Structure 1
Amino acid sequence: MSILDKQYPTNVYRLILITAAAIWGLGFVIGKSAITTVGATWFTAIRFFGAGIVLLIILFPHIKRSFCRKTLKAGMIIGVATFLGFWTQFLGLGMTTPSKNAFLSACYCLTVPFIWWVVSRRRPPAKVFISAAICTAGIGMVSLTEGFSISLGDGISILSAFLYGAEIVIIGLVMRDNDILTTTVVQQFTSGILALLLALTTQPMPTAAQVITPEFIGAMAYVAVLSAAFGAVAQNTAQAHVSPSEAGLLCSLESVFCALFSVAFFGEVLTPRMALGFALIFASVVATQLGDKGGSTATNSSPEESADDGPAATTSRESSEPVKRNRGRITR
């Protein structure tokens, strides 16, 4: 039995998502110079292919045993969703300010409950909507530094929030009956192929002088190995045990970590407004746990609950009834 096959308390999977969010947040800061060097589309293509190659080398014996048509299909579906979220955020970033783009795309924590409601036809409890609203307000205080108005770039950034939300829901739905590691590798290569096709048709090829530098290689190594490879495995694993709504909320903490790392390592000033935003985001995460006693994972559920309730039914509930259990971003 591998470490991914074992069942852990739900709080372990929550911690995994928070760790992934921290890695993504630092990845935004580290990868910013690489994006400036080669452009967002080439950056995305290199990032996804790099992650896919790293995972393929490390996991080749496992993938050889587990690869099948069903896993290929699942990975491709998730990979398309992942690419669309990235691409629309980058498109919006080119037509609006970085702060507004970061805020609007990170609002996927608010879109996930509604998307999951439509898909599962099960209304999330009120605390989910309250928590998402508080989190959105907090992200706004952290990210927005100027007057707010809606432009075409803002609208595309909002679209990316829905696509990222859809990605989180799709992972929860598709991953439940597929091998996590093999599906993740297919996901990375699928996103990489789509990004490469877009890059080849819209941007010039990066030169050797641009990419053969310690700074660029170091940045891409971080985002490919940690942000992409580890982050994707961590998220796909955790979402088999955490509800889509809560996963969206925890993943959105990447915007908080991004700001914190900017303050800690790059001299950005922590203003009272940002501090209040951090407090609101933290309060939103705490609010999702109110009335939740935690507990064990899906192994405690009956077969009937597992069949009816989706990815995994745990004793950590979003409501008193069994619920379906199960991924903005430049950094992911």
Structure 2
Amino acid sequence: MSNGVSAVSSPSSGKVLFYLILTTFFWGGSFLFTKIGVREVPPPFFVLLRFSLAAVLMGLLCLPRLARLDRQTVRRGTIVGLALGVTNLTFVVGVQGTSISRAGVINNLFVLFIPLIARTVWKDRIGRINIAGIGLASLGIALLASGGGEGFNRGDMISTLCAFFIAIHIITVSKVLKDEDVWLVSLVQFCVVALMGAVTVLLVPTPSFSLGLTSLGTIIYCAIFPTVVCFTLQNRYQRYVTPTQAGLIYTLDPVWSLLAGFVVLGERLAPREWYGCGLIFLAVLIPLGVRFVIERRLVVRYLQR
């Protein structure tokens, strides 16, 4: 296989699917726990504490590998970490300012931002299906804006900005990282994000707060599950599926955040908000579905040769 993983060592497709879906479950849970946590802890402090704990945990896991940590891994991990840091800082502020139901759907717009960025920077062709997706997403955002409550509020806007930075992070990973040890890269990333959180805390005035059991629990959850565990599962199992298949699986993220918002927080959306979220979801799902069908056809043609 081209990725250097032998067929003998490859896990079953069912196992791969299970762990990638589990990853989306933990990521979806991060919306709920972050929303609860930032009620007590200012967003920059939340990022600082979450990624400081994640860095310590990943450092313990990486103890046998630390001797292989070289300047190149630090440099490349820092570049990727800067993108991850901006992503998480905008994520917590966005979740604080809107419902997790809306934030989860809006964050998935990263799928559409990736071809737009590739077009702007590398002059890649966007494609008609992506243009259609962008049009659907725009209509969905318009419905959210007129759906009641505050319309398309500040939290929604920052969540959209977060989706853009998610796309930047994904592109940065694919362009910058080569054959580095993914565990060590993750460790460097977490350290960089924690440092960015500390700098933000120093530069941005934040109100005083007390760290209660609830907020401490949310930080521990977010440090362990959607950070250390999810990065490990993603790095371990995503290599066995195509990017399109992974994208389709990751569209489950907003499903979990919608369920969590409905069941735990009692969030309710107005009809237009549901339609808007549905259109944004379709805007992401349709291009991924078309790419998946095209990939399957190419595989069938290749096998029939």
Partner of 1:83: 85
TM-score normalised by the chain length of structure 1? 0.69
Return the offset for 1:201: 2.8
Distance between the aligned counterparts of 1:66 and 1:143, measured in 2? 50
**Aligned partner of 1:228: which letter?**
T
Distance in 2 (CA, whole Å) between partners of 1:80 and 1:266 is: 32
Q: Which runs of 5+ in 2 are unaligned?
A: none
Task: Give the letter aligned to residue 258 of structure 1.
Answer: S
Structure 1, unmatched stretches of 5+, are: 295-314, 321-332
CA–CA separation in structure 2 for the residues paired with 1:249 and 1:115: 20
Aligned letter for 1:181? Answer: W
* 2:230 equivalent in structure 1: 231
Q: Write the distance in 1 (CA, Å) between the matches of 2:35 and 2:269.
A: 20
Tell whether 2:193 aligns with 1:195: no
AA partner of residue 75 (structure 2): K
Amino acid at match of 1:87: L
Q: Distance in 2 between matches of 1:48 and 1:90?
A: 13
Cα gap change, 1:245 to 1:86, in 2 (>3 Å): farther
Contact 2:148 2:270 in 1 (8 A): no
Give matches, 1:313-332, under 5 Å.
Answer: none
State yes or no: 1:31 paired with 2:34: yes
Q: Does structure 2 conserve the Cα–Cα contact (< 8 Å) formed by 1:41 and 1:195?
A: yes
| Deviation string, structure 1 residues 75-111 (Cα, Å, up to 9, x no partner) | 11111001112233455667x6447665544422210
RMSD over aligned Cα, in angstroms? 4.2
Per-residue deviation at 1:288? 3.6
Alpha-carbon distance in structure 2 between the residues aligned to 1:127 and 1:8: 33
Corresponding residue number in structure 2 for 1:215: 214
User: Alpha-carbon deviations, 1:262-294, whole Å to 9, x = none?
Assistant: 234444458877488298379535444213229
Distance in structure 2 (CA, Å) of the matches to 1:160 and 1:182: 25
Alignment correspondent of 1:310: none
> Does 1:165 pair with 2:167?
yes
**Match runs of 1:1-332 below 5 Å:** 7=10, 16-61=19-64, 63-90=65-92, 97-98=98-99, 104-119=106-121, 121-123=123-125, 126-128=128-130, 130=132, 145-146=147-148, 156-204=158-206, 210-211=210-211, 213-237=212-236, 250-268=249-267, 274=274, 277=278, 280=282, 283-284=285-286, 285-293=288-296
Deviation at 1:10, TM superposition (A): 8.4
| 3-state DSSP of counterpart to 1:291 | helix
TM-score by length of 2: 0.74
Distance 2:129 2:12 in 1: 22
Change (3 A) 1:34 1:148: closer
Moved more, 26-35 or 16-25: 16-25
**Shift of the alpha carbon at 1:196?**
1.1
Report if the CA contact (8 A) 1:51-1:229 is conserved. Answer: yes
SS in structure 1 opposite 2:125? coil
Q: Distance in 2 between matches of 1:53 and 1:259?
A: 31
Q: Shift of residue 39 of structure 1?
A: 0.9
User: C-alpha offsets along residues 126-176 of structure 1, whole Å, 9 cap, x if unaligned?
Assistant: 445555665776788799843786777765554333222111111122233
1 CA distance for matches of 2:147 and 2:254?
Answer: 14
8 Å CA contact retained: 1:263, 1:270: no
- Over 3 Å counting, the alpha-carbon distance change for 1:261 and 1:88 in structure 2 is closer
Quick one: which amino acid aligns to residue 231 of structure 2? A
- Greater helix percent: which structure? 2
Q: State the number of aligned residues.
A: 291
CA distance in 1, matches of 2:180, 2:20: 20
Secondary structure in 2 aligned to 1:72?
helix
The answer on whether the counterparts of 2:23 and 2:233 sit within 8 Å (CA) in structure 1 is yes
Q: What's the offset of the Cα at 1:112?
A: 1.0
Worse overlay, 63-72 or 33-42: 63-72
Contact 2:76 2:176 in 1 (8 A): yes
Distance 1:223 1:260 in 2: 18
